[in-house]
Structure 1
Amino acid sequence: MSAVLAAVVVSVSACGTDEAKMPIDTPESAVAGYSVPENVDYNVRWSTEPGIDLLSRPAVAVRAYMESYYLAIHGHALSAGYPGFADATSQQRDRVDFDHSNDPELEQLVGTQFEHLLAMTPTEDGWVATVCSGNYTVMAEKGGRFFNLTGPSPQAETVRMVAPEQAQSVASERIVAEGAERAPSADVFAGWTISEHDPAARDQNAYAECDARMPDARDARPQKANVPHDTPYPTLAPYPGWPRYDEN
């Protein structure tokens, strides 16, 4: 798996430009004491299709939701998601009960999760996004060995979001939502809510497209779930990451 790491670093879609970016939050809105669950040591790296900006307001909401969703699953708690996650998902249909896991034991997770924003489409009240989740590079440590969570295929997921009324007209604005931090310390949802999340996209073509967007060739990925490895997939730096909101 390490053979592709150099390519990963240079191939992930860049989003930085010289455009001015709007602050996402004030220092007073930072949530003191928030941190990701202690058992979660993997980082998330995002890429996009051409024309999709990871620093636009809708894309930031997608990033925050998807990262929080998996943190809540792996941390077995709604509170494991980012600040504002509980409010952003309160109206979601078929909401997952994160606080009552069938497996009480928390797995120690390492590696890198690859997320690709495949499509963003405006709707009457917000946006719908198709997201590719490459979880095959997230591994659980057990007894000094490492077990990949999934097989080689990424998941294609659909997320429907409702925008605050005042935000729909300025959705293309770029905001401060990148940095060296692996998680935000402020509510980056800022009033955006998730009305529906389908972990299995209805568009079957999305699966083939997602497979082609992963940074590792298919034959270089773990071929089966829960296969033991002596070393884990490397934990790469988060991208685009999050800023220190208490220093804005």
Structure 2
Amino acid sequence: MSRDVLKYRHASAGALILAIAMVFASACDTPSEQASPTTAPTSALPAPLFPNWPAVANDFRFHWSAAPGIDLNSGPAVPLRAYLESTRLAAFAGGDPSVVYPGFMRSTPENQGPVANAGELFQLEYIRPQTRAEYEANGWTYVERQVYGYQPTHVLSLIPQGDGYRATVCVGAYSVYRTADDDPQKFFSTAADEQTGQLTYGDRDEIQVWRVELTENDPRVANAPAPPTAQQLGPMPAPVDDVFGRWFITGAGTALWGPSGQGEHIDTPEVRQQCEDAMPDDAAARTAMATGFHDGPPPHGEPVPGWPAETQ
């Protein structure tokens, strides 16, 4: 299998990946449900191995866990999983809008863009991630490379709020790998700088803290399919159908939350410590995986909990 992966070339790969994560880069702001054929990039990657799963992630899997009392396989955790997986996959694919899961566009509002005026909400800046064209406008170019390894993703809390829920999610970036531009046999973590193999922002490179809010009662949702009735777990890395139902993402971010001038930090010391404690790998193992150059990526294993193999 080809070891090519998609990666942005920048002075600091670690800083770039963090920047992508900070804006939830992974989709596009095309309002239609289907990606425009003029915006989808031409790919030299091998064919995808699974439905709704991009070739860039053939050798990568999501591993989810949750705090006691949170059911990952039904209710609001299902659209939460689908939203976060979609955003990450599109980031890996460099802003390719075609790799998000079915229903993603219907279930998200258009991006507000960078906060510029008092009262604008930080959580709406890039609720749909930036496009490839936007990355290129910022001076980034890309090289097709696959991603490897696994991403530990822990739902720290999923709390009823108003007519919906607020989720705090810990994302382990340390075990997501790419290959170097100058040597396809040299692997490094997306948390590290490609030139030095070192972390730029320390533990914030290794683990990202995300907040997502969602509701089933947003009037912007139209023509939504019935939600899945079966438990959403199985052998597939991606859902074979639309699992969003009437759920709508009303806010998402990793830095500041709330209106301009009154924003609160999502990534507090207390939450960060809880996220570190929730990772399956201890601090020493995370740092060893996140730094330096390696002969191969971590084994990706099976998707956890995965998605059903058939429409349900």
Smaller-chain TM-score range? 0.7 to 0.9
Larger fraction in helix: 1
Q: 2 CA distance for matches of 1:219 and 1:161?
A: 35
1:202 pairs with 2:240:
no
- What residue identity is the alignment partner of 1:149? T
Q: Is the CA contact (8 Å cut-off) linking 1:44 and 1:114 kept in structure 2?
A: yes
Q: 2 CA distance for matches of 1:162 and 1:229?
A: 42
Identity %: 34
Query: What is the CA-CA distance between 1:225 and the residue it aligns to?
Result: 5.2
Q: 2 CA distance for matches of 1:202 and 1:221?
A: 22
Q: List alignment gaps of at least 5 residues for structure 1.
A: 1-32, 166-172
What TM-score do the two structures reach when normalised by structure 2? Answer: 0.62
Instruction: Name the SS for the 1:108 alignment partner.
Output: coil
1:93-148 residue CA offsets vs partner (Å, 9 max, x unmatched): 21222343333323311101100000011111211100000110010023111110
Match of 2:125 among 67, 70, 94: 94
Q: Is the CA contact (8 Å cut-off) linking 2:74 and 2:231 kept in structure 1?
A: no
Q: 2 CA distance for matches of 1:219 and 1:135?
A: 15
Match of 2:246 among 191, 197, 216: 191
Aligned length: 209
- What residue identity is the alignment partner of 2:164? G
Instruction: Name the SS for the 1:238 alignment partner.
Output: coil
1:185-217 residue CA offsets vs partner (Å, 9 max, x unmatched): 111111211111112362502111000111111
Q: 1 CA distance for matches of 2:271 and 2:177?
A: 25
- Give the structure 2 partner of residue 105 of structure 1: 143
Q: 1 CA distance for matches of 2:141 and 2:65?
A: 32
Instruction: Name the SS for the 2:188 alignment partner.
Output: strand
- What residue identity is the alignment partner of 1:35? N
- Give the structure 2 partner of residue 69 of structure 1: 87
1:156 pairs with 2:173:
no
Q: Is the CA contact (8 Å cut-off) linking 1:74 and 1:106 kept in structure 2?
A: no
1:39 pairs with 2:34:
no
What TM-score do the two structures reach when normalised by structure 1? Answer: 0.77
Instruction: Name the SS for the 1:144 alignment partner.
Output: strand
- Inter-CA distance 125–103: structure 2 relative to 1 (3 Å threshold): farther
Query: What is the CA-CA distance between 1:224 and the residue it aligns to?
Result: 8.1
- Give the structure 1 partner of residue 78 of structure 2: 60
Task: Return the structure number with greater relative CO, CA threshold 8 A, min gap 6.
Answer: 1
1:132-191 residue CA offsets vs partner (Å, 9 max, x unmatched): 0011001002311111011553111100112147xxxxxxx9742110000011111112
Q: List alignment gaps of at least 5 residues for structure 2.
A: 1-49, 112-123, 192-198, 219-227, 256-264
- Give the structure 2 partner of residue 4 of structure 1: none
Q: 1 CA distance for matches of 2:279 and 2:244?
A: 26
